[in-house]
A and B are shown apart, each in its own frame.
Chain A
Amino acid sequence: MKKFYCFLIYIFIIAVHIFPLSIKVRTFDHNNFTRVVFESDSRFSYVMKRGSERDLTLFLKEKTGNILLRSDLSGSELLNRVESVTNGEDPGIRVMGSERFDILKTFVLKDPFRVVFDVNKKNLSRETGSVVMEREQEQDEYGLDSSEIRTKKKRRSSIDVICIDPGHGGSDLGAVGAKNTKEKNITLKVSNRLRKIIERELGIRVVMTRDSDVEVALDSRVARANNQNAQLFLSIHVNSSYRKSARGPETYFVSLKATDKVSSQLAMKENSSFNDMDDVPEDDDLKMILWSMAQTEHIRESSRLADYIQEELNILLHTKNRGVKQAPFRVLMRASMPAVLIEIAFVSNKSEENRLRDDSFLEKVAESIYTGVSKYIYYYNSTFK
């Protein structure tokens, strides 16, 4: 009998080692805080400890064996390192910051099981972006539901930081034309020109997601904008289609209609910061964690910004149709500010590729985008000041 029990224990130990607990760690910078999420398919007990003001460690209780650790830290400049640690018999996960940080709050979510911490840089004023809750009564044109709880940040009195995101870069060439015109080079040229014009004419600080030919992860781009408290996000791209006749500029902002309604509701709830686990919808198929829809509260403003820019590009390229469109763009979804993606022209179209190869045309494109942005800023200042 003793041998049998030993055998069972042996089997248990093997099972624990064969099937380790899988935990995924994600971090993402918002305007006024950074969120770190520990996600697992199974529930676990934990103890949180801090070794210094630059780290946060989650020790797993009643868990022997291994942790299968996966991480996606590309969304945060503050929390950018993670490692497995042990404390006696307890395995743990340590998340480390580039700077000292405070923990603002913590909560647990289910389906899937998640332990969430919101932190911010030490001594960072919490006044910027303080959150007020309000209930929207009517359904709006962007598909947001009437009873959804939405968050709104207090607006700053003027726009003083703009983030420009030149699409692609490094080994990511983007779209390539028949004459080998590379999207990554065009977007960088236009973005650098646009930056100069905005700084010179408006005296506004411009943050670039890249200013040379380097590859930048998609999530890092918007994380940088959030981290730098940018108030506008402009992602510059060049279009392409299998339909060779496709031409003209297009300006996009995020669409919620195409995504799952349940996920949108989930995103709203997560964004609105809660502790009540029973209030979470029973839908795990989208894995859409709250922050991923940070753009929801800025959709109206994004639409307006897109309109102003598109109008200018239509004049430049003699395009008749409006060209403002909605789609679930990854780089825009997590932006905590009005955000648009501008497709200057089609590199897949013969005549438009020729224009994209002309530097004077790119200068005009930058000027047109600038005019659209300055119109938005004028509107913003006259409405919100």
Chain B
Amino acid sequence: MNKKIIYILISLAVIFFVTSLIIYLSSSGTFKRAIEDKKGESEVLEETVTELETVKIFFLTNRSSLFLPKEYKIEKNEDRMEFLKIFLDLMIDESSNYIYPFPEQTRLQSVFYIDDKQMAVLDFNEELIINFPGGSRGEIEFIYFFVNNLCYNFKEIKKVKILIAGNEYKTLSGHLDLENPYKPDYKYFRR
């Protein structure tokens, strides 16, 4: 075999080995840690105290026809939008044993707040309307789960508008009007 070709093959093998090593170390964190450890040697760690905010989320259960409250403590966040997103993540965390009044495939695509209208807008994916099982009671439970919980925990939210895949729908499954925003109706909550 030509000597030149052997050198090229050896060089390629070395490059391949070094690249693999770098990828492995960075993905396992060893590389990153090694760098950070070195950087932090002379630094003194500051102890930070996290302030917590108590929120009350009302869930649907088989025990009552009314939504029942559960308290959570969330890390306080000056950015209210960020706090709202964390709150919503807690609300729709389906790992708990509560009854969630929407289809499994439902995802909250985006959430935004309109200042001058004091209105939160929730935009769900299309799976919500495709898989929604129907029924007036089902629609009421879905709408007021979000409207009441948001208005109850966020003073700045006075009403909530629901969109699906960015669009305004007349109803979810032929009952409650979805073209207009909703104000809270706490008769569905046991406070």
Contact = CB atoms under 8 A, between A and B. Distances in A.
Contact of B174 (A218, A241, A343): A218
A259 B180 contact: yes
A333 interface: yes
Contact of A218 (B117, B138, B170, B182): B170
B100 interface: yes
Contacts of A108: none
A284 to B, nearest CB: 10
Q: Chain A: interface residue count, which band?
A: 35 or more
B53 interface: no
Interface string B139-153: 011000000000000
A258 B119 CA distance: 14
Contact of A260 (B101, B140, B183): B183
A212 B179 CA distance: 29
B175 interface: yes
B180 A243 contact: no
A79 B141 CA distance: 37
Contacts of B60: 242-243
B135 A241 contact: yes
B136 A343 contact: yes
Nearest to B133: A240
Given A218-B170, A244-B62, A258 B182 contact: yes
B128 to A, nearest CB: 13
A242 B134 contact: no
Contacts of B135: 175, 183, 237-241, 343, 346-348
Nearest to A321: B65
B170 A346 contact: no
Contact of B181 (A250, A260, A341): A260
B23 to A, nearest CB: 46
B55 interface: no
Interface string A163-200: 00001100011111000000100000000000000000
Given A240-B138, A243-B60, A246-B65, A175 B177 contact: no
A330 B176 CA distance: 6
B171 interface: yes
B56 interface: no
A243 B99 contact: yes
Interface of A: 167-168, 172-176, 183, 218-219, 237-246, 250, 252, 255, 257-260, 263, 285-288, 327-331, 333, 341, 343, 346-348
10 contacts: A168-B134, A237-B175, A239-B138, A240-B134, A240-B135, A244-B62, A250-B136, A328-B182, A330-B170, A330-B178
